[in-house]
Amino acid sequence: MTRTGLFWQTLLLTSLMFAVVLTITVGLSISSIYNNLFRECENKGRAIAQGISRTSDELLVNRDLATVQASLDESLALEGVAYLFLSNGQGETVCHTFVPQVPSQVLQLPVSPTDITATRVALGSEQRRLDISAPIMAGVGGYIHVGMDLEKVYAAALREAALQGVAIGLIFLLSLGLVSLAVRRITGPVTVLTDCAQALSRHDFATDFPKRDELAQLVPRSAGEIGTLAESFLQMENKIQQSVLHLRQTTAAKERIEGELQVARHIQMSIVPKKFPAFLALPQMDIYATLEPSREVGGDLYDFFQLDDEHIFAVVGDVSGKGVPAALFMAVTQTLIKATARQGLPLGELMSRLNDELCENNEASMFVTLFAAILNVNTGQVEFSNGGHNLPFLLSPNKGPEQLPRTRGMGLGAAEGIAFQTSSFTMQPGQALVMYTDGISEAHNPAAELFTEERMRKFFAGQSDLGPRALVENLLDAVRAFEAGGPQADDITALVLTYLGPGGPVSREVANSLAELDNLAAAVEGFAASFHLSPTVANALQLAIEELFTNAVSYGYPAGQAGRLKLSLDFKDDWIEVELQDDARPFNPLVEGPEVNADASLEERDIGGLGIHLTRRLFDELAYERRNERNVIRLRKRAT
């Protein structure tokens, strides 16, 4: 076999591949033809249904059914139209073109008062129809149904498919004949090599290659490239067999480890609390935290929980090392923290006992740095203890960020019998305590520069919103921007506790989902309770906030678009102040909402607008503005 013969073989096989591609192309063409015919049929039905819908409303109001029936009969003569019928607002069929009556299948077809719907329906073995329904006067006047004959669409598509099939068959037979001629010309060693190549492609390499002897006999019989190729096949088969065996062993071990790590990550992330707002019944404070491991699992931790009705315990920690050992030590530490904290021990003694527990049987000599704090939500007093951890930042609305003073202590789990010093300070309303791990301060960019606590200080100095969620998310965005797409070097954890003060303002940021109404209602209840508002005033707050929130979520955002809304409540000089912000499209419900005739009966009153009407009646001042691409609605009401 010469190189010229191999060239022609390759050419012929390429021609066969072209025939396959041509067949696929024709098949796609047929599918496209069918889809186009179907769309034309559907569009024609929609146009007919929409035209009748627009011209029938006045006729239905005047009960001119004869004219409507004439219009249906006239439309039935159009090509492709199989039937038409019209039902009134009570679902009764008033006009139709069926003989003698409307089949039950079409009476139960779905309709929409706002959109034209298209539904496939079968009235018999060869009566496939596409039902197009259009509302008349938003469904109040009824619905017009136009049935398009799909049999014609199928018939046209089948005719085209038959023509294409004949062409494909001829091309296939011609290609098959050419390939057969080429195959007949290939004999001897090339045939053996082809069989061996096919067998090699199906071989699982768990056993010896069955055609090894044939290849071995071909080496001395064939000279030149054929013999060299046969020898190469033998060497390749031997190396592949060894590589596949090693790869299977490595892949099995890797998949097992990855699966276990994914389970471990899920378990680890389920340990830390992720429900925010965390304490809906405590309007005096707000808290938010996040943990992002640098690997599948990590050694950072955070936790917060109520010790009693007025004390919140919060902790952030960083375990030495990385990976699975750090994650296991983290889980043990977090479990011991919660169990020890609930014993009611003083904070210094709690840290000492936790340290002794971690030292016990700690053969790996691991340790964890911790910063723990206890907040009294009624007084703002914070008691804290630092076990060798990064110093938190205290942020204030009207002054620069400060770091808390260092207290005597070291990493927990390193040595037994260590005494931990505690200190305290009083948070003022509006202040925020930022607790974090060194995954933030030691994040680095491609130039190997660290983010540093100094950059954190400058970042906090430029923040006007001290809400916990905004602070955490903005801080992580700043870190990612600093890393400039580089790998995350260490676990990142941040926890922000914002003190709002006893009976202070309430701020809640939620997603644009009606499921968040319960969170907002709880926030309003806490606000009303802290200021001892009357039930009448509290109910007015609930009604207005629910109405404004529902309007923004339901009408301000396109379907599926995510967004955020922020509710702020405050009490100043006997005035209750409400502010609701959203990032939806520009919309002022105070002006653009429907007018309500309060004196009209329920039957005569238009739909919508009642909630806004009641809000106007219940509040003394209402205002709207578009600020920084956000809708802002402000309400004010005297508390008495």
Residue (of 537, 527, 632) closest to 580 by Cα position: 632
DSSP 516: G
- Whole-angstrom Cα distance, residue 485 to residue 494? 20
For residues 47 and 139, the answer to whether their CB atoms sit within 8 Å is no
DSSP labels for 283-337? TTEEEEEEEE-SSSS-SEEEEEEESSSSEEEEEEEEESS-HHHHHHHHHHHHHHH
Residue 354's pLDDT band, with cuts at 50, 70 and 90, is: very high
Q: Is the Cα dihedral 402, 404, 410, 412 positive or negative? A: negative
Q: Is 378 helix (H, G, I), strand (E, B) or coil?
A: coil
Kindly report, residue by residue over 20-38, the tens digit of the pLDDT: 767 787 777 778 888 888 8
Structural domains of the chain in order of their starting residue, each with its CATH number: 3-156 (3.30.450.20), 272-499 (3.60.40.10), 506-638 (3.30.565.10)
The phi-psi region of residue 259 (left if phi > 0; otherwise alpha if psi is between -120 and 50; otherwise beta) is: alpha
CA distance 47 to 501: 63
- 3-class DSSP state of 273: coil
399 backbone dihedrals φ, ψ, rounded to 5°: -150, 165
- Hey, which residues does 576 pair with through a beta bridge? 571, 637
Residue the block writes with tokens 């136009």: 146
Report d(CA 542, CA 517) in Å as an integer. 10
d(CA 460, CA 120): 60
pLDDT of 381: 92
The Cα–Cα gap between 19 and 136 comes to 53
How far CA 212 is from CA of 202, 238, 348, 449, in Å, comes to 14, 10, 76, 59
Q: Give the tens place of pLDDT for each residue, 438-450.
A: 999 999 999 989 9
Whole-angstrom CA distances from 415 to 316, 330, 368 are: 20, 17, 11
**HSE (side-chain half, CA atoms, 13 Å) at 413:** 22
Assigned token pair, 218: 């071909």
Residue with tokens 């599926």: 560
CA dihedral of 506, 512, 516, 520, whole degrees rounded to 10: 20
- Where in 142-215 does DSSP place strands (E)? 142-149
| Residue 637 to residue 294: CA distance in whole angstroms | 49
Q: Is the pLDDT of residue 205 over 70?
A: no
Distance separating alpha carbons of residues 142 and 92, to the nearest angstrom: 9
pLDDT on residue 3: 44
Give the model's confidence band at 626: pLDDT under 50 very low, under 70 low, under 90 confident, else very high: very high
CA distance 141 to 260: 62
DSSP bridge partners of 433: 394, 497
Question: What is the number of residues in the chain?
Answer: 640
pLDDT-based confidence at residue 424 (cuts at 50, 70, 90):
very high
Parallel, antiparallel or unpaired: strands 368-376 and 311-319: antiparallel
Residue 473 has pLDDT above 70, yes or no: yes
Q: Each residue of 144-192: pLDDT tens digit?
A: 889 888 888 788 778 877 787 777 778 777 776 666 665 554 555 666 6
